[in-house]
Structure formats: structure tokens, C-alpha cells
Amino acid sequence: MTAARAAAIVLRKEIRAEMRTRELLQTTVTFVIIVVVLFSFAFEPTAAEARRYGPGLLWIALLFSGSLMLNPSFAKEQSNDTIYALRMAPVSPFAIYLGKMLANLLFLAITEAVLLPVFALLYNVSLWPVLGRLLIVLFLGTFGIAVTGTVFSAVATQARMREVLLPLLLLPVLVPLLVASVEATAELFADAPSLDRTWVAVLVAFDIVFFATAWMLSDYLLEE
Amino acid sequence: MKNRWLFALIIAALFAFAGYAVFFIAPDEATMHAIQRIFYFHASSGWAAMEGTGIVFFANVAYLRKRQPKWDWLAVSAVEVSLAFWSVVLVTGPIWAHPVWGIWWAWDWRLTLTLVLWILYVCYLVLRTLVADPERRAAVSAIFGIFVFLGVPLDYLSIRIFRTQHPQPVLFGGPNSGLDPTMVKVFFSCSALMTLLMILLVIERYRLERLRYEAEEMRLVIEERAETKSQNREMQRRTALGG
């Protein structure tokens, strides 16, 4: 079986499991909306203020919900004892990682699909004119979160206090990604919106480097 | 044993010389004067810290490939020693920045990344406390350590790539970026010294970690023996009662 096919099977399994309970999506989507509402108390969300703080807020909300959502990715295999089945499966660990990573990417994208209109509405930001370019930045940033978060989800599963540990490990590692995403988004929210090449390049570089590292280390992720 | 004391003594003597060189041999900087002299310790500690994280990265990769506990001992030793040097960097930086910039801290790439790396290596140590099994602990922290190390080259290059509040590189920085030749000599003496100190500390910490590991193994054996002994006694008691 090729890695791509194995990854597709893992992805289908993740989607099917999620569609049966919808546990992950309903909690994450609710959480991300709570974060957006709570941030409105930190400053007066007028258009000018929102333009200043909006990008940071958007990405902090995504990062928080990501660190929350990625935790069960491997933890549920552990608690259901299905991790042994994954270990025994005659496919490369990278394929399993890839399937899980794509599932997390998809779930994060669904969260964003809910978050964006709510954010635009509550903070009075018009996203429509820059939507295409914003989606590029969102994709690059979310890809980085999913790539790194899926690895660290597997790492945190091995430790005690894993629910607290995952944000501890994940959030600081994602700082360069956060900075680049926020700056690129801020350029899009400016009066004369533009897609900043430098920050997009930083995002692409981050994604490539972290994905390559995850690929090289994937053999060790499912070990006992 | 003797060699280690000799090594430590040589480093102490070199430190005395470096202190003298920094304050009496290095020329006064034209605009910053005395406060500039902190640079010799600040930047050399930064180099030692980065070299230390290089050792961490090497040990992490070696552990994942070879699975020998010694690489894990080396990794954790180098993390702790590097953290000490990062701390020196993060303390001496603001001491210099306050009179020169007028502020203690600026959120540019160099400062932010250095602080984040410091936090990440603390997280590395926190992660280690939360995994009980020694082999799992070593493997998991090696994976995390490799990811953390990805930030180190970026931190090193940040003052070359981005426009930062932090001064631009004064060594290997291209034309018109150089230091006074005497300053260069004093700086390289200091950074060689800091590297030696870093190596000495890593060696000492490694010995400690090995002893700790051996003590842990022994304790496990003793506990196991004590348990079998008490089980045996219990069995004897029962057979005696039953018989």
C-alpha cells in the first residue's frame, strides 16, 4: 500500500469518527467564538482599533483553539487502545502522521470557516475584498499549526498532564509562525491592502522546514 | 579527577585574565564608553549558549539513532548549561540596553526569539519531569529538542535577515561592520573562554547525570529485591500457618 493511500484511509477514519460524535468540532468552534467575544472586552472594537488588534486576535484565537483541538488527536487512540492497531498496521508511520495531520488541517479549516464571518461581523472588518489573499495566509498559517501540532500531540500523549503540556510545548514553538501570520494579515487589513511577500516567504519557509522535520521524525512518533 | 581540577583552575585563571583584558586592554568605545564592555560577556555567552544547543541537537539526533542512554545524559546536561548561558545573555542585554536605548526591552526578532528559545528549553526540562519511563523520556524529549533547535539558526541569523533594534553583527558582518582589532582580540579570547567554561560545565553535569541514572537503576533493583523478599516471607508465613 502506498503512503498516500494509507494516509487517505487514516484521514477517512478520522473524518468518520468525528462525524459520528462531532465532539471535537462543536467544542472547538464554541471555544473559538468565546475567545473572540472575550477579546472584545480587552479593547473597544471600533473599526480602527479592530484593524490594529484584529490580526493578532484572529491568530491567537486560532492558535488557542488549535492547541485545544490537537490534543485528542493521539490521546484518543491511547485511551481507546487503538494505538496498538495503528502501530501494527503495515503502513509507514509517516502515512499515519500524514492522515492525522490532514484531518486536523480540515477540522481547523472548518473552525476558521465559522470564525471568519463572526470575527468580521463583531469587529466590523470587511474581509470580502481581501478574502482570496487572506485565505492564502490562513492556509499557510493553519498548515504550520497542523504540522507541528500533530507531532506534539503524539509527544504529549506520552507524558502526564498532557492537556496542559501540549499548549506549553506548541505555543512557543509557533511564535515565528504567529508573528509572520499576524504581520501578513495586518498588511491585508491596512487601508491599501497588499500581500506582503516577505511574511508569506517566512510562512512558506516555516511550513517546509517543519513538515520536513516532522517527516524525518515520524518513525519515532508511534513508538512504545 | 586531577584533570578536572586542573581544567577548572585553568579556566579560573583565564577568567582573571579576561576580566583584566575587558577592562584594561580593550579600548574605550567612542559613544557608549564603559557600558559597551558588557558586550564581551554578553555576545560570548550568546555564542556559548548556541554552541551548547548545538550539542543538544547533536545528542538528540544521536539518541534517536543509537538509543544509548549516554546521549540522553549529554542532551539534558547541555540543555541545562545552555539555559544558564541564555540567562546571562538575557540579563546582560537589558543592562546594556537601558542606558543605550533608553528602554530595557524591545520586541524585535533577535530579542523575541532569544526569549522564546529560553522558554522552550525550560519547556524541554518540564516535559522531562512529566514522563516517568527513562527510555520514553529520552525519545520524547529528543523529538521535542530537535524541533526547538530549528529556532536557533533563525535566532543567529535574525540580525542579518531582519532590521532589528538589536545591533547588527560586528563580526563576519561584511564590510564597514568591523571592530577595532584590539576589541576583536579581546572578544575572541572571551568567547573561547566562555566556550571552555561551557564544555567544563557540560562535562561535570554529564557525570552527575550518569551517577543519577546509575543510582536510579540501583534503587529499582533494590526495590525489586525487597519486594521479592517480602513476598517470600509472606509465602513462608502462609505455608507455616497452613502446615
Can you read off the three cell numbers belonging to residue A107?
477540522
pLDDT, residue B122, reads 96
Query: Which residues of B touch chain A, with CB atoms under 8 Å apart?
Result: 64, 109, 112-113, 116, 119-120, 123, 126-127, 130-132, 136, 139-140, 142-144, 146-148, 150-151, 154
DSSP secondary structure letters along B212-236: HHHHHHHHHHHHHHHHHHHHHHHHH
Per DSSP, helices labelled H in chain A are: 3-21, 23-39, 47-69, 72-79, 83-88, 93-122, 131-157, 162-173, 175-189, 197-217
- Most A CBs within 10 Å: which of B61, B120, B128, B147, as the mutation test of the A interface? B147
What residues of chain B lie within 8 A of the CB of A158, using their CB? 131, 136, 140
ipTM value for the complex:
0.90
- Most A CBs within 10 Å: which of B127, B129, B148, as the mutation test of the A interface? B127
Q: Which domain holds residue A12?
A: 3-220
pLDDT, residue A80, reads 84
What residues of chain A lie within 8 A of the CB of B142, using their CB? 220
Can you read off the three cell numbers belonging to residue B29?
568605545
What is the C-alpha separation between A178 and A213, in angstroms, rounded? Answer: 19
Number of domain units in chain A = 1
Residue at grid coordinates 486576535: A57
Closest CA to A65 of A89, A94, A39, A86: A39
What is the C-alpha separation between B93 and B165, in angstroms, rounded? Answer: 12
What residues of chain B lie within 8 A of the CB of A217, using their CB? 64, 143, 146
B224: number of Cβ within 10 Å:
10
> Which range, B80-84, B134-138, B170-174, B227-231, has the best average confidence (pLDDT)?
B80-84
What residues of chain A lie within 8 A of the CB of B151, using their CB? 173, 176
List the single residue in B120, B123, B140 with the smallest CB-CB distance to A158.
B140
- Most A CBs within 10 Å: which of B113, B114, B143, as the mutation test of the A interface? B143
The pLDDT tens digits for B5-47 are: 888 888 888 888 888 888 888 877 777 777 888 888 999 999 9
List the single residue in B139, B142, B148 with the smallest CB-CB distance to A173.
B148
Q: How many residues does chain B have?
A: 243
What is the C-alpha separation between A140 and A129, in angstroms, rounded? Answer: 19
pLDDT, residue B33, reads 76
What is the C-alpha separation between B31 and B98, in angstroms, rounded? Answer: 15
As a whole number of Å, the end-to-end CA separation of chain B is 59
Q: Does A165 touch chain B (CB under 8 A)?
A: yes
pLDDT, residue B178, reads 67
Residue-level pLDDT, tens digit, chain A, 224 residues = 788 999 999 999 999 988 998 889 999 999 999 998 888 887 777 777 777 888 999 999 999 999 989 988 888 888 888 888 888 888 889 999 999 999 999 999 999 999 999 998 888 888 888 899 999 999 999 999 999 999 999 999 888 888 889 999 999 999 999 999 999 999 998 888 888 888 999 999 999 999 999 999 998 988 87
What residues of chain B lie within 8 A of the CB of A155, using their CB? 127, 140, 143-144
List the single residue in A152, A176, A223 with the smallest CB-CB distance to B154.
A176
Please give, rounded to a whole number of angstroms, the shortest distance from the CA of B188 to a CA of chain A.
31
Model confidence at B177, pLDDT cuts 50, 70, 90, reads low
- HSE (CB half, 13 Å, CA atoms) of A93? 18
- Say yes or no for a CB contact (<8 Å) between B151 and A176: yes
A223: left (phi over 0), alpha (psi -120 to 50) or beta: beta
B177 vs B33, B41, B167, B190, B218, CA distance in Å?
Answer: 18, 19, 10, 20, 57
pLDDT, residue B174, reads 59
